Amino acid sequence: MKKQPTIVTGRIKLRRFAPDYCAGLDKKKTRARTDARGRRIGDLQPLLYANAHHAVLLIFQGMDASGKDGAIRTVLQHVNPAGVQTANFKVPSEEEKAHDFLWRIHHAVPRAGSIGVFNRSHYEAVLAERVLGLVPRQTWRRRYGEIVDFERMLVANGVLILKFHLHLSRREQAKRFKERLADPKKNWKFSHADLATRQRWPDYIDAYEDMLNATSHPAARWHIVPADRNWYRDHVVAGIVVKALDALKLKWPKPAKNLAKVRIGK
Amino acid sequence: MKKQPTIVTGRIKLRRFAPDYCAGLDKKKTRARTDARGRRIGDLQPLLYANAHHAVLLIFQGMDASGKDGAIRTVLQHVNPAGVQTANFKVPSEEEKAHDFLWRIHHAVPRAGSIGVFNRSHYEAVLAERVLGLVPRQTWRRRYGEIVDFERMLVANGVLILKFHLHLSRREQAKRFKERLADPKKNWKFSHADLATRQRWPDYIDAYEDMLNATSHPAARWHIVPADRNWYRDHVVAGIVVKALDALKLKWPKPAKNLAKVRIGK
């Protein structure tokens, strides 16, 4: 099996990326390794918090049922929830619409020392808003540059940004929608609006492809994560997070001064 | 061993509550039971999210080293971090000081369907701010009523509030401070300011006692959690959370209409 790249460093065609790619790995063994990666993330989070120099921002995009919730749950399952801030970006409120598209995003950026998760993000402003025709072409095209500038500023100010496009096939989406309809624990998730989105599949693929090419800049690259197999998706995401955290080379901070002289009493 | 109450329903004297109380339980067995309670909370969170009718707000107060962080970590260790929003209330910023004391608190109230955690809270406005003399007596006394009114409003609007005072002995605090000083993984936590607070111990106990008596109202009772033993502290908190969540009798929501007619295609 030819190795499929994940990181977007040059111009890409999305259809060249197989959503069911799994690098020939074994499901059971891989799950165990993913769990070990999750534990490593759980171990590194207190160091991130103690240092409070960096924030980590994980951005998840992908079609309905691509597994954004599932990936977040698995990858962060061993992390203290107190160290994680998750933001779900839904349809903007009237107040949010009355501001620029980055206003509500900026507010949700994680503080130093914590892990932030964006379940959907500012990228909806060049995806759904483009496909649904909510903004003119010149607006969503201008936003690419505005997003890159915004992310560069965040990175320069200590935010480590990791961006994941969960790449799902249309066929696998159909399968998952049918499962949702059949399962009483899942069918509350089903919305008729999801079908309308599904019908615009080719338009969304175009929008995703343009977005990936326009906004995968050196300070914050996009990762295209094959998403047809949950276990491989989680493995890839966990690996990228571990590698990025390890690269920070976090150590326990130096203690406050004069600790040797401190007398506590009884 | 005489059973020590936890919930505050009448006027209490804090010195009558033993910080090292553990109901005669065995540490190892209790830890396993606490873990089971944690798993139950993890299982109930998706139901809370799916229904999105209620929010749950866990408020933690207690002296330095009483184990607020530890309790939060243990009790929520099996919960998807995406379903939890934690707020740490430190010394107010200039912007926050320019507003009423509940302004920053209100903003951090969890949204329907999620679990919010306050690590310290609006109660600092009648604790530290009182002891340090930052506000006149008439102000902090007035705040008791304002807090009760505010919490009643939240409860009436679907927020389940659970308030925990982690009750630590001065002796155990000394032991924990010494451990922090000795452990390079913990001594970054030590602040000389903690010693200043420790020296005002009796004043803080007075402030806590008055607060517990003035703000344990039927809509949101205080719980006094013995905190000298971490394992018993976590067990008590987890038990209260499980009981409160069970009482909501959450069920999977009814599916959207006309699901039987939905055709997904391939």
- Contact of A59 with A68, CB cutoff 8 Å: no
Respond yes or no on whether ipTM tops 0.85. Answer: no
Q: What pLDDT is attached to residue B193?
A: 86
What global pTM score does this model have?
0.89
Q: What pLDDT is attached to residue B234?
A: 98
> Nearest by CB to A190, which of B170, B188, B259?
B259
Q: What pLDDT is attached to residue A1?
A: 62
Residue A48 is inside which H or E element, if any? helix A27-51
> Nearest by CB to A252, which of B79, B185, B262?
B185
Chain position carrying tokens 């530890």? B70
Instruction: Please state which of the four CATH numbers 3.40.50.300, 3.30.450.40, 2.102.10.10, 1.20.58.1880 is assigned to the domain occupying B6-247.
Output: 3.40.50.300
Distance from CA of B188 to the nearest CA of A (A): 4
Cβ contact B256–A50 (<8 Å): no
Interface of B with A in 169-228 (CB under 8 A): 170-171, 174, 177-178, 181, 184-185, 187-192, 195, 198
Q: What pLDDT is attached to residue B184?
A: 85
Q: What pLDDT is attached to residue A184?
A: 85
Round to whole Å and give the CA distance between B211 and A31.
Answer: 49
pLDDT, average across residues B88-102: 91
Cβ contact B82–A119 (<8 Å): yes
Comparing A59-63, A162-166, B59-63, B185-189, the range with the smallest average pLDDT is B185-189
Cβ-based contacts of B76 with chain A (< 8 Å): 80-82
Q: What pLDDT is attached to residue A125?
A: 96
Cβ-based contacts of A178 with chain B (< 8 Å): 264
Cβ contact A69–B84 (<8 Å): no
Distance from CA of A212 to the nearest CA of B (A): 25
How distant, in Å, are the alpha carbons of A88, A100, B159, B245 from that of B113? 12, 28, 10, 12
Q: What pLDDT is attached to residue B36?
A: 98
The pLDDT tens digits for B138-183 are 999 999 999 999 999 999 999 999 999 999 999 999 999 999 998 9
Round to whole Å and give the CA distance between B31 and A156.
Answer: 44
Domain boundaries, chain A: 6-247
Spatial CA neighbour of A19 closest among A126, A174, A163, A162: A174
Q: What is the pLDDT along chain A (266 residues), one digit of tens a residue?
A: 689 999 999 999 999 999 999 999 999 999 999 999 999 999 999 999 999 999 999 999 999 999 999 999 999 999 999 999 999 998 899 989 889 999 999 999 999 999 999 999 999 999 999 999 999 999 999 999 999 999 999 999 999 999 999 999 999 999 999 999 989 888 888 888 889 999 999 999 999 999 999 999 999 999 999 999 999 999 999 999 999 999 999 999 987 777 778 888 88
pLDDT category at B1 given cuts 50, 70, 90 is: low
Cβ-based contacts of A80 with chain B (< 8 Å): 72-73, 76-77, 81
More confident residue, B58 or A256: B58
A133 conformational bin, left if phi > 0, alpha if psi -120 to 50, beta if neither: left
Chain position carrying tokens 């009798």? B249
Q: What pLDDT is attached to residue B87?
A: 95
pLDDT category at B261 given cuts 50, 70, 90 is: confident
